[in-house]
Amino acid sequence: AMMDKQRQMDADAQQKEFMMQKQQLMEMGNNIDPMEIKNAIMKMEMMLKQTTMMDMDPQAKKQMVREQKRMVRRLKRKQKRMARGKDTDRSRHSKRSRRRRRQRKHHDGPAVDCMVTPWSEWSECSVTCGKGTTTRNRMVKRKEENGGKRGPRKLSKTKFCKVD
């Protein structure tokens, strides 16, 4: 019982450290220099190694590792953008102006965004006994035109279902 408590405390401390690091990076936003990014990547990779070696609940460990890997990928992308000199404010405004430029450059007429139907109901389970899958879908009502907003990549979702 004492070992379990210690493991849980270690896991909590690791999670807290990660969250603090993440918060710190979020507050810096675009006011971050290449050295800070490099240091943050090294810290995150070290934290990731520690997490993978920790003896803790497998599900919580998997989630923590996933979040840490995602953060490392994000930082590395930001580092690449900065190296190319392309790290700009990535707000909605800049997306909108890029779309307008794209529209003026290649298209005639107004930009038309993609439209999709709402998700269908979940289908029946694929099996009558045991574990199977269930699916729901949506369809493209209208494709994007003239540089409009693209539609979603996923038009179907599948999940496991269990029938007793």
Whether 82 contacts 41, CB under 8 Å: no
pLDDT of residue 91: 47
- Tokens 């990535």, residue? 90
Show the tokens assigned to 127: 């099996």
Please provide residue 55's backbone torsions phi and psi, each rounded to the nearest 5 degrees.
-95, 100
- Angle CA 153–158–164, to nearest 5: 175
Q: How far apart are CA 151 and CA 132, in angstroms?
A: 29
Digit-coded pLDDT (tens) for 36-86: 888 888 888 888 888 888 887 788 888 888 888 988 898 888 888 888 876
- Tell me what the pLDDT averaged over the chain comes to: 82
pLDDT in tens, 145-155: 888 888 888 99
Task: Tell me what pLDDT residue 148 has.
Answer: 84
Residue 92: pLDDT above 80?
Answer: no
Question: Which residue would you say has higher pLDDT here, 3 or 164?
Answer: 164
CA 72 distance to own-chain centroid:
12
Alpha carbons within 13 A on the beta-carbon side of 3: 4
pTM to 2 decimal places: 0.46
- In which residue are the tokens 């890029």 written? 98
